[in-house]
Amino acid sequence: MREVTWIIAASGSGIANAAVIPALQATDGSRIIGHCSLSQPNVPLDSTEAKRYVTYEEMVVESGADALYIPLPNNYHLDLIRLAVENGVNVLCEKPLAMDVAEVDEIIKFTHDSSVIVEEAYMTTHSLRDQRLREIAREIGSTEAEARFTFENKSFDNYRMDRRFGGGALLDVGIYVLDPIIDLFGEPTEVEIVAFSEKNQTDMDLEAILLHREGKRSKITTSFIRPEEQFLRFTNENAAVSALRPFTPSVDDVQIEITDDNGSRKTVMTEGNYIYRAMVEDFNNAIITGTKPRRSLAQSRLVQKVIDHIFDVARS
Compute the C-alpha angle 194/197/203, nearest 5°.
110
CATH of the domain at 217: 3.30.360.10
**149: three-class secondary structure by DSSP:** strand
For 35, list phi and psi in degrees, rounded to 5.
-155, 165
Collect all residues with Cβ–Cβ distance below 8 Å to 111 and sequence separation of at least 6.
85, 118, 297
- Total residue count of the chain as it appears in this document: 316
Residue at 230 is within a domain:
yes
pLDDT of res. 108: 98
Whether 176 and 65 map to the same domain: the answer is no
Whether 38 and 115 map to the same domain: the answer is yes
CATH of the domain at 56: 3.40.50.720
Residue 19 CB neighbour total at 10 angstroms? 19
Say whether the peptide bond before residue 96 is cis (omega within 30 degrees of 0). Answer: yes
pLDDT of res. 14: 95
Residue at 303 is within a domain:
no
Q: How far apart are CA 289 and CA 268, in angstroms?
A: 34
Residue 291 DSSP symbol: P
Per-residue pLDDT of the chain (316 residues; tens, 9 = 90+): 689 999 999 999 999 999 999 999 999 999 999 999 999 999 999 999 999 999 999 999 999 999 999 999 999 999 999 999 999 999 999 999 999 999 999 999 999 999 999 999 999 999 999 999 999 999 999 999 999 999 998 776 788 888 999 999 999 999 999 999 999 999 999 999 999 999 989 999 999 999 999 999 999 999 999 999 999 999 999 999 999 999 999 999 999 999 998 889 999 999 999 999 999 999 999 999 999 999 999 999 999 999 999 999 999 9
**What spatial distance separates the first Cα and last Cα of the chain, rounded to whole Å?**
53
Q: How many domains does the chain divide into?
A: 2
In contact, 80 and 70? CB cutoff 8 Å: yes
Residue at 312 is within a domain:
no
Domain membership of residue 43 as a residue range: 4-123
Whether 153 and 91 map to the same domain: the answer is no
Residue 255 CB neighbour total at 10 angstroms? 15
Whether 196 and 117 map to the same domain: the answer is no
Residue at 277 is within a domain:
no
Burial class (CB in 10 A: 0-12, 13-18, 19+), 82: middle
pLDDT of res. 155: 74
Nearest of 82, 44, 50 to residue 65 by alpha carbon: 50
Q: How far apart are CA 85 and CA 83, in angstroms?
A: 6
Residue at 17 is within a domain:
yes
